[in-house]
Structure 1
Amino acid sequence: MSLLHPVAPVAEPPLPRSAGADPASTPGYQLIRRNGAVTPFDPAKIALALTKAFLAVEGSSAAASRRVHAIVADLTAQIVAGLTRRADAGRTFHIEDVQDQVELALMRGEHHKVARAYVLYREERARERAAARVGATAPPVTGELRLRLASGALVPLDEVRLAAVIGEATAGLADVSSDAILAETRRNLYDGISVDELGLAPILAARTLIEREPNYARVSARLLLDRLRREALSFLAGRPDQATQAEMAERYGDYFRAYLARGIDEERIDPELARFDIERIAEALLPERDLQFDYLGLQTLYDRYFLHARGTRFELPQAFFMRVAMGLALREVDREARAIEFYRLLSSFDFMASTPTLFNSGTPRAQLASCFLTTVADDLDGIFKAIKDNALLAKYSGGLGNDWTRVRGLGAHIRGTNGESQGVVPFLKVANDTAIAVNQGGKRKGAVCAYLETWHIDIEEFLDLRKNTGDDRRRTHDMNTANWVPDLFMQRIEQDGPWTLFSPDETPDLHDLYGPAFKTAYEGYEAKAARGELKVFKQLRAVDLWRRMLTLLFETGHPWVTFKDPCNIRSPQSHVGVVHSSNLCTEITLNTSADEVAVCNLGSVNLLAHVTPDGLDHQRLARTVKTALRMLDNVIDINFYTIPEARRSNLRHRPVGLGIMGFQDALHALRLPYGSDAAIRFADESMEAISFHTISASVDLAAERGRYPSFEGSLWSKGILPIDSIELLAEGRGGLDLDRSTTLDWEGLRARVTTIGMRHSNTMAIAPTATISNICGVSQSIEPAYQNLFVKSNMSGDFTVVNAFLVRDLKSRGLWDEVMVSDLKYYDGSVGQIDRIPDDLKALYATAFEIDASWLIEAAARRQKWIDQAQSLNLYVANPSGRKLDETYRLAWKRGLKTTYYLRSRSATHVEKSTLKGTDGKLNAVSAVVSAAPISVPESEFGKACVLDDPDCEACQ
């Protein structure tokens, strides 16, 4: 049967040969036809049918044929990639799924005439099949379906268990139907189906229904859990084994004991965990918490976090959380009690540790820290040591921030060879390639951010590093970059004054100076340059450089804009060093030097779990923060350090970074639009509470375990808390327009800090939480909602995401139906243009690009006054212009923000407006492509600055 209907007969041209169209590229895949027959999947038939359809619609001239062949090769590759993208997605496709992908590819490619003819043809054929079935005699029953075991043996398919598992997955969830899932599952069954395919079929069936009812995401997760249980239990038993959720509730303890022993044997688990009281630990497991995942969260854990041996997962969710908890409790006095306390917090989703901690806690190589910051020296030994350190730190999943400002610039004198330096850029190329080669132990792409101060002579070349044009040897396509901007530069912009670039070998003290001292020294070097006493310098208008910075940020997404002076003036540790850069995600602001590599250990509070209709639950928040900070403190002592400079720094200062996630969800729960004064007040109130409880918890730990070694002389020791250090910045700038109000007992806490001390030099930082928020099923970090219905892409695949709060409200008003789903698809997940949605809901569910960026900055400024580090603050600008970007980033500086992160701007959005019945994440009805390249600039020149939910983007992982 042809996949596409050729409108008129044409001569068959040679088939296009491409990776996607080559039958050899899809060995072993099969096609399920409508009658249940199974035949080999042949991509060449897709290419042939597409070619016939195009030539029939557009003509068969030689010119048309050449153009059609190129189009068809690309479309076929897309279709096959869409079908085969996921390695675990089974090896069979239903004929309807293939046709859905064909229709989707035609719509994406804007081949509207062919697509329209194809849609009409499908509808016509469906009517013909329906008519043929009327009055037809039912086909004779040929026997029950059979299941093919791994051994090759065929056994009857247990449809009773299949129905039971689906029924169990839907139990207790509103507005879901086990019958609908079972019917869709049966459509994809065939005689001889494999065990893996049978496990996958109901998952895919449930996924197609998520866009209509968010609870199907829970159902999909529970069905995936059944598949995971079979995989893990069979591995541990050495034979096929499986259990329903109800059966597993009785078996979890026995499973955990076997899991722990096997994990140690496989050298995946630290043998020290076997010395715990395993009976006590096993009894504390809560099997019912396996049921709280959404599909995206559990699939992410399955693909990237759960321990496996030879590709087989043997770690179930509660074993995973307990393994992490036990690893963090190794040095506690009552290890079992603390492990259970940590486990209960993690498995409740009230708090989640960072990805490196989840990856490695309780394993033989417990590298648990998230971020590392280094300063690169100005000599070959120092430069290549820094690159080697990057490799060692990245190997175990650390994100890196490198300060390159000390390295002399292009044209500077090299005394040893009497030659001239090639500047910073060639070494950045090496650092870029190292990050790709050492890809965080094979778990995710290596990630590093290079920082350079705005006065460095190489700053203009630095701005161009991410461009797709020019000498590729002076480009770093995979490295993040950031500007480290002094206040003086921003002041020169305000004054439309000059700005002078220097080489740091001639101005070495600028690197360590900030505030008034930097201004004095900088102006002194400007005078020396004017007198001809410096060899390498360049003067230009500050505004011109600023415009170029914003232009490249707009066109390439880099370098980010971060501010040197507030990071240093407000640093609690200014008495022992200088903050020379931030980290990979711009939320860490710690000192670095030749002998200290800064380390930060991260975790995030789920804000949604700590709000009630009446506001923040302070009692629950205090409990969460106290336990969370103890876990982060333990990371410092347990951590596996790959270089001595990191160990020295971390044990001396003991910094941690407690952050938040689920901020947008909390606003939804409280009925507060993100773009409102009420939301800004909540940002202030919630961060004040977290700051208060975090600092208090650090004092408690100092009383129990002692102050951090470099406490004396710090701002803490002087009674200057983060809420007080904002005044230091205001004094240095001559004023700061920012609300300073407080509501809690800061005088009492200040007295405790100065009397007892602090356990940590730094305590708070708001990280992106892209992956751990997925695990917990909440919105990312402090981000506004991207869309209310969209497809999220990450390393685990594509996932339909629906705003459950919106669906709940629409249901309550009788507005949730198929038409509303279609409207959300059409309007890119936005409710703003859907007439029948009331205005109050339009305000509450406004998406990121519908909220002016100034609201994001104002909310961030209120948070920043409470935080001793910084925030990963993405800025969304729907219709960027030079003026808008200038206003946005100047406002960020004026409000005292320390850093900004990605610029998210939208130049082109493509949403599939086809009539697909559902979306399983691959046959998606909503697929947004968002970039920061202006429409008038060809992508081949500038590329995509920031594609939301990019599987290769650190912020999206």
Structure 2
Amino acid sequence: MASEAAQYTQSASESGYNVIRRNGKVTDFDSSKIAVAMTKAFLAVEGDAAQNSRRIHETVSELTKQITENLLRRLDDGGTVHIEDIQDQVELALMRAGEYKIARSYVLYREKQAEKRAEEEKRHPKPANETTLHITAADGSRQPLDIDRLHDLITEACEGLAEVDRDVIMRDTQRNLFDGVKASDVEKALVMGARTFIEKDPAYSALAARLLMDGIRREALSFVYKTHKQAKQSEMAEIYPDYFKSYIHTAIEHELLDSELALFDLDRLGKALKPELDFEFTYLGLQTLYDRYFIHHDGTRFELPQAFYMRVAMGLAINEIDREARAIEFYNLLSSFDFMSSTPTLFNSGTLRPQLSSCYLTTVPDDLSGIYGAIRDNALLSKFAGGLGNDWTRVRGLGAHIKGTNGKSQGVVPFLKVANDTAVAVNQGGKRKGAVCAYLETWHIDVEEFLDMRKNTGDDRRRTHDMNTANWIPDLFMKRVVEEAQWTLFSPEEVEDLHDLTGLAFEKAYAEYEAKADRGEIRNFKRMPAVDLWRKMLGMLFETGHPWVTFKDPCNIRSPQQHVGVVHSSNLCTEITLNTSDKEIAVCNLGSVNLVKHVDENGKLDKEKLQKTIRTAMRMLDNVIEYNYYSVPQARHSNLLHRPVGLGIMGFQDALYKLRVPYASEEAVKFADDSMEAVSYYAIEASSDLAAERGKYQSYDGSLWSKGILPIDSIKLLQEARGEYLQQDDSKTMDWDMLRDKIKRQGMRNSNTMAIAPTATISNICGVSQSIEPTYQNIFVKSNLSGEFTVINPYMVGDLKDRGLWDEVMINDLKYYDGSLQSIDRVPDELKSLYTTAFEMDARWLIEAASRRQKWLDQAQSLNLYMAEPSGKKMDNLYKLAWVRGLKTTYYLRSMGATGQEKTAATPNSTSAPKPAAPPTLKPVGKTEDDFISGEGQDAPKACSILEPDCEACQ
């Protein structure tokens, strides 16, 4: 115990962490004192026997480690922590460890000490002048702390937030200051004072963001004006226009922005900024923007939020005729959170390298030069913040003949290892990890090795621990699984046309190749029961979270562009379905409509506003195509030829809350249908209107669009290929005949118009639920590249307040039950149903809602699936259902940790928790088995955890 404590002491001391004592003095942080204090508490309760107890030594050591990590992980290097916060953490750790008697003794000790200090203060009050604190400026000078300004800042930040307590924040801030504190640490103390209360009320998240703005304003204004400058938010209406003009010129001077931006009417744009919107962020949203999006020079960020949105808008309007008017139009959409462009667009718009596209899809040829050329393309595309999807199906399999050397191939896996290491070496602009997903068709001879690539055991030279993987599954394989038939694996150089064939044509050719294999005309093949391979696919998904399950045929049969190519894979996040070839690297530009912003106060979808938003959003997405920086020529060629874009949605769960509709319900499925129909209608309409203004995309003739076949109509094409294996709703409510007539007259500007991306980071910025996701937990700590943030469901808090149920006991109960209301007796069933979390609902509801969306989409959707306790039968049913319901792709399988499962199952205080509703009974497809997954019966699921800070989908 002593050695571990010393280890933490040294680490904390080297990092410069300090402790503020009650008298205002500052001392070095020393975690061994935490261990000593807890040991004394154990001795006080259990006597001298505790001194030599191995259990107690181990407990104290482990708790000291936990407490130290909890205290320091939220602080920057050189941060300070108050002695009271340390003691609070000790109490909490003892309680969580079940050491209730020790915790009670510790609490009583603290209370006695507090009484002694109070008595001492009465006898010997401190002179007033001893309480004066000084701050240390950046130049080393000292000056008295301006308490009045501190008071004014907190008062301003609290305006309109009735739920927050200004005086508590003021006291908490002052408690964390000491004589000689750095000026920058005063700003941190303000924010820390507010963020610790977020779990008590979501309004404190807004307050923390507003207090954070003070430091952001100081940093930006001081850099731009080259002198120390501070301002309150109320002063920014006057300051913003002049600052904006200076900011643009400063950024150009430092070669951070394109000099073309200086040619805009900056006075006009500056006057269009809305400073009041700086106060509309959550803490997570603003901190994320500050850390990862704002322009900086040598680490100093000098881009304020409204300047950031206008800079992005200017880049997107740079080729418009009246570009100031369009920039203001685009700015209004972004700054209001009605629509948000994707992360690469926010990163790079207006810069010297405007790489604004989110996704790149490539197909890798079967020759050494082509393979390494594809890996080089990966590096160049990743460098400027692009996510990658690679189709590796053409690369010959293990044991295949190499004509040039008369040798045998090592298969596709060694090359995948090189691609994996390239993604690690070349990250996305230095701003987030490089991210790539490898796709392989299910008939490839190396598919079994491909399934194992994410395992932590085996030959590490044939493992790719950093690369995502996905199965590209033809319908014929799923039919063979259902029918319990045989499946044959081939090496692609012997069955070259299978790569480009889909649907019934694929089935015909595949059967012919099987006959050839039977006649000995194909050398390198393997035959196995289809269900055995399916079991292994699901088993690896269970064990490693990969490969994902995606379906080749619906992506192709319903593709508007099947006349000019084949969709060989999806992208990094499984929502893009575009053609690829040796000459074309598919590119997609993404942005998402904030759905909750389009639900009016009467609980109705505001279609008029939605149409207006989408019209502007589609113009922004189309503008990316000419303006975009392409790091490889095949990407430019493809994008200008087809002009695909991907308009998606986010805030779906928030919209359901506003409508008072549980996610696990028929009403939610209907809303998914109706809302996506409206988005689809207006996106297609907007693209057609752009075609009337700017011209049709080059490869329009021969497309499904040109034939009057819209996404909703293409379901019939899939039905013809699938037969009884497709059960997908095709009802509609809007006037699609009118839209078909418009397209017939005007054409389409974009080959593809819609794709629902994960939106993890941009949803954080907008303060809404990501994409189409259900709520993960109603209160939890989110980890991402910007740190750790308490996230609490504001809708739930509002409802509990209305019923007089929001108090400290409720907060503690929610923490204990991992953000779940189901086991808390006093919560009404209505709220338990409305605030059911992702792991508490039947995952089939996610499939049903996704199926209704899929019928309107010309591309796909990033669909995460949640299972508290995955099992063979559940996974088999779920993924077969996804196929039968016409989904094109699925994304992560999310699982719950073992402790979460135990708490979910443990309901000691509950006798009436309602079971989440189940979807309607569906027509069964094929047989199922209870225990067929390799690895079944393990202690805990291994599928993807939802809180992985480095994961693309968690960002």
Pairwise TM-score range, normalised by the shorter structure: over 0.9
The 8 Å contact of residues 376 and 386 in structure 1, kept in 2 or not, is answered as yes
> How far is the alpha carbon of 1:116 from its aligned partner?
4.9
- Please, which of 106, 109, 125 is the counterpart of residue 121 of structure 1? 106
1:895 aligns with 2:885: yes
SS of the residue corresponding to residue 352 of structure 1 reads: strand
Counterpart of 2:115? 130
Contact 1:89–1:200 (Cα < 8 Å) also in 2? no
Identify the residue that residue 850 of structure 2 maps to in structure 1: 860
2:524 and 2:902 map into 1 onto residues whose CA distance is 54
Does the CA contact (< 8 Å) of 2:13 and 2:30 recur in 1? no
1:674 and 2:663 matched: yes
User: Who is 2:908 aligned against?
Assistant: none
What RMSD, in angstroms, separates the aligned Cα atoms of the two structures?
A: 2.3
Whether the 8 Å contact between 2:278 and 2:305 is mirrored in structure 1 is yes
Q: Is the 8 A contact 1:864 1:897 kept in 2?
A: yes
In the alignment, residue 611 of structure 2 is paired with which amino acid?
A
Determine if the alignment matches structure 1 residue 883 to structure 2 residue 873: yes
Deviates more, 1:348-357 or 1:505-514: 505-514
Structure 2 unpaired stretches of 5+: 904-932
1:234-268 C-alpha deviation (Å, 9 max, x unpaired): 11222221000011121111111111111111111
Specify whether residues 439 and 185 from structure 1 end up closer, same or farther in structure 2 by C-alpha distance, changes over 3 A only: same
2:826 is aligned to 836
Cα distance, 1:103–1:479 mapped onto 2, change above 3 Å: farther
Contact 1:826–1:911 (Cα < 8 Å) also in 2: no
Q: 1:195 aligns with which of 183, 194, 201?
A: 183
2:496 counterpart of 1:508: yes
Amino acid at match of 1:461: E
1:885-915: CA deviation from partner (whole Å, max 9, x where unpaired): 00000000000000000001224245999xx
Of 783, 795, 804, which aligns to 1:793? 783
Q: TM-score, normalization: structure 2? A: 0.93
Cα deviation for residue 527 of structure 1 reads 1.1
Deviations 1:694-751 (A, max 9, x none): 0000001000100000000000000000000011101111143222111111001011
* Counterpart Cα distance in 1 of 2:52 and 2:405: 61
What does residue range 624-773 of structure 1 map to in structure 2 within 5 Å? 624-735=613-724, 736-773=726-763
- Structure 1 residue 58: deviation in Å? 11
> 1:228, CA displacement in angstroms?
0.4
Deviates more, 1:817-826 or 1:150-159: 817-826
- 1:276–1:938 Cα change, 3 Å: same
Aligned-partner Cα distance in 1 for 2:804–2:233: 34
Q: Distance in 1 between matches of 2:491 and 2:366?
A: 11
Corresponding residue for 1:160? 148
Distance in 2 separating the partners of 1:267 and 1:123: 61
Does the 8 Å CA contact 1:371/1:398 hold for their aligned counterparts?
Answer: yes
Q: Distance in 2 between matches of 1:374 and 1:64?
A: 61
Equivalence for 1:954: 952
* Aligned sequence identity (%): 65
Q: 2:509 aligns with which of 518, 521, 527?
A: 521
Corresponding position of 1:918: none
The corresponding residue for 1:922 is none
400, 407, 411: which one aligns with 1:423: 411
Q: Which residue of 2 aligns with 1:140?
A: 127
Structure 2 residue identity aligned to 1:830: S
Aligned to 1:723, the other structure's residue is in SS state coil
Partner of 1:818: 808
Amino acid at match of 1:269: L
Does the aligned pair in 1 maintain the 2:91–2:106 contact within 8 Å? no
Match of 2:767, as an amino acid?
Answer: G
Find the aligned partners of 2:493 and 2:706 in 1 and give their Cα distance: 36
Number of the residue aligned with 2:922: none
Q: Give the alignment partner of residue 306 of structure 2, picking from 311, 315, 318.
A: 318
Aligned residue identity for 1:627: T
1:769, 1:780 within 8 Å by CA — same for their partners in 2?
yes
Classify the secondary structure of the residue corresponding to 2:566.
Answer: coil
SS in 1 for 2:806: coil
1:268-300 alpha-carbon deviations (Å, 9 max, x no partner): 111110000111111111111111111110000
Unaligned runs of 5+ in 1: 1-11, 914-931
| Per-residue Cα deviation, 1:523-580 (whole angstroms, up to 9, x for no partner) | 1111111122211111111111111111110111000000000000000000000000
Question: Which of 255, 258, 274 in structure 2 is aligned with 1:270?
Answer: 258
Aligned equivalents of 1:933, 1:837: Cα separation in 2: 40
How far apart are the structure 2 equivalents of 1:547 and 1:119?
A: 52
Distance 1:13 1:599, change over 3 A: closer
- 1:125 Cα deviation after fit: 2.1
Aligned to 2:81: 93
**Following superposition, which runs of at least 4 residues in structure 1 exceed 3 angstroms of deviation?**
12-18, 23-27, 43-65, 67-84, 86-90, 99-108, 134-137, 909-913, 932-939
Match of 2:795 in 1: 805
* 2:429 partner SS: helix
Matched to 1:126, the amino acid is: E
Q: Aligned residue for 2:530?
A: 542
Say if 1:520 and 1:62 are closer, same or farther in 2 by CA, change over 3 A: farther
Q: Which amino acid aligns with 1:732?
A: A
Letter in 1 for 2:127: P
> Retained in 1: the 8 A contact 2:16–2:78?
no
Distance 1:654 1:116, change over 3 A: farther
Q: Provide the residue aligned with 2:25 in structure 1.
A: 37
Structure 2 residue identity aligned to 1:129: A
Asked if the contact 1:169–1:223 (Cα under 8 Å) also holds between the matched residues in 2, the reply is yes
User: Secondary structure of 2:539's partner?
Assistant: helix
Separation in 2, partners of 1:788, 1:584: 28
Match of residue 213 from structure 2: 225
- Give SS of 2:631's match: coil
Deviates more, 1:120-129 or 1:254-263: 120-129
Equivalent residues, number: 920
Residues 21 and 77 of structure 1 are in contact (CA less than 8 Å); yes or no, is this contact kept in structure 2?
no
Cα distance, 1:773 vs structure 2? 0.5
Q: Distance in 1 between matches of 2:168 and 2:473?
A: 57
**1:569 and 2:557 equivalent?**
yes
Structure-1-length-normalised TM-score: 0.93
Q: Following the alignment from structure 1 to structure 2, what is the Cα–Cα distance between the partners of residues 458 and 815?
A: 57
Decide whether aligned partners of structure 1 residues 248 and 912 sit closer, same or farther in structure 2, where only a CA change above 3 A counts.
farther
Q: CA contact under 8 A between 1:23 and 1:42: conserved in structure 2?
A: no
CA distance in 1, matches of 2:732, 2:850: 16
> In structure 2, do the counterparts of structure 1 residues 338 and 762 end up closer, same or farther at CA, with 3 Å as the change threshold?
same
In the alignment, is the contact (CA less than 8 A) between 2:585 and 2:638 conserved in 1? Answer: yes
Tell me the amino acid that sits aligned with residue 318 of structure 2.
L
Matching residue of 1:925: none
CA contact (8 A) 1:248 1:287 kept: yes
Q: Is the 8 A contact 1:439 1:445 kept in 2?
A: yes
Partner residue of 2:909? Answer: none
Any residues of structure 2 matched to 1:171-210 within 5 Å, and which? 171-210=159-198
Once structures 1 and 2 are overlaid, which stretch shifts more, 313-322 or 196-205? 196-205
Counterpart residue identity of residue 138, structure 1: P
What SS does the aligned partner of 2:454 have?
Answer: coil
Write the letter of the residue equivalent to 1:683.
A
Q: 1:910 to 1:543 in 2, by over 3 A?
A: closer
Change (3 A) 1:81 1:439: farther
1:78 deviates by 4.5
Residues 440-483 of structure 1: per-residue CA shift (max 9 Å, x gap) = 11100110000001111111111111111111111111110000
Matched residue SS, 1:581: coil
| C-alpha displacement of 1:15 | 5.4
**Which of 427, 432, 439 is the equivalent residue of 1:451?**
439
Task: Determine the C-alpha separation between the residues in 2 that align with 1:368 and 1:445.
Answer: 17
Q: Distance in 2 between matches of 1:15 and 1:672?
A: 51
The aligned counterpart of 1:335 is 323
